[in-house]
Amino acid sequence: MINQMRADLYRQFHTVGFYILLVFTIAFSLFLTLTQQVGGIMVTDDNKAKQLDTLSHSPWSVLSGLKAVTMSTSILPYAFIALFIIVIGYEFSQQTYKNTLLSGISRLQFIGAKYCVLLIDLLALTLVYYATSLLSSLSAGREAGESWDNLIADTIIMTLAIAFFMSVIFSIGIIMLVSTGSSIVSVVLIVIWPVAISMLTVYAHWSWLKYIDFVTVGLNVAFSIIPIKQLWPYIGVSALTLAVTIIGSSIIIQRKEL
């Protein structure tokens, strides 16, 4: 599994698309922070409206920049689809994953390695996204907005929350890719999942959907809207989703003829 992860990381570091995505991540964060903009694809609820109102009617600090780029993270899953294609989508579209499985790695290790590489990539790029905002705010001469200890802690929490819950959506894309063998179908699912679930949660009033509205959960954790005591059901659902998608994907591959 470790060797598979090393091979995937080596391949992506020699792929131009990865560096284009890195440049986009930095440029998007710079644009939002320096122009004091908030952009994203989201269904606005009371909490988001309050955050947007606060940002638009107060001088920006480093903390304001971090909040603005957090509000805009709904764009990231769509941009980071490129990672999904680089790490796993290309192998399935070309059927080259069969050669990897014939080398002796188990199906579960194969899928687990793919998910771990995706998670590492998401954590790294999300950290770059937030670090760019923080450094560009400082270069613009803005005040911190809170103590530096809290600012660093907030940045870490935001990075972990956004990257982890984003990875859950990508894990759903993995099982769809393995099931259908189509990168297009899995990419379409990744694209429509966040908006569709958010709209159903808000307009259909199906409260149980909030547990699988992974983009909104990530935002709410980043903004401390969900108290720690209420966070465990969300973590439990996400962990169960990961278990089902990773184990399920390995079972589906095992049943396919090599």
> Does the predicted model carry a pTM greater than 0.85?
yes
* Per-residue pLDDT at 57: 64
pLDDT tens, position by position, 127-161: 999 999 999 999 988 888 888 898 899 899 889 98
Look at the alpha carbons of 75, 77, 78, 79 in this order and tell me if their dihedral is positive or negative: positive
Q: What is the Cα 38 distance to its own chain's centre?
A: 18
- 100-130 pLDDT tens trace: 777 778 889 989 999 999 999 999 999 999 9
Answer whether 92's CB lies under 8 Å from 137's CB. no
In our burial notation (b when 16+ CB lie closer than 10 A, e otherwise), range 33-52 reads: beeeebebebbeeeebeebe
Q: Cβ distance 136 to 65 under 8 Å?
A: yes
Assign 257 a pLDDT band (cuts: 50, 70, 90): low
Q: In residues, how long is the chain?
A: 258
Query: With contact defined as beta carbons under 8 Å apart, do 162 and 70 qualify?
Result: yes
How confident is the model at residue 246, as a pLDDT?
95
Give tens-digit pLDDT for 165-204: 999 999 999 999 999 888 889 999 998 988 888 888 777 7
Domain count, the chain: 1
How much of the chain exceeds pLDDT 70, in percent? 91
Confirm if 173 and 194 have CB atoms less than 8 A apart: no
Amino acid at 119: L
Q: What is the phi-psi region of residue 103: left when phi exceeds 0, alpha when psi lies from -120 to 50, beta otherwise?
A: alpha
With 90 as the cut, is the pLDDT of residue 68 above it?
Answer: no
pLDDT surpassing 60 at residue 258: no
Could you tell me the residue range of the domain that residue 154 belongs to? 2-255
Q: Does residue 137 or residue 52 have the better pLDDT?
A: 137
Distance between CA atoms of residues 79 and 122, nearest Å: 11
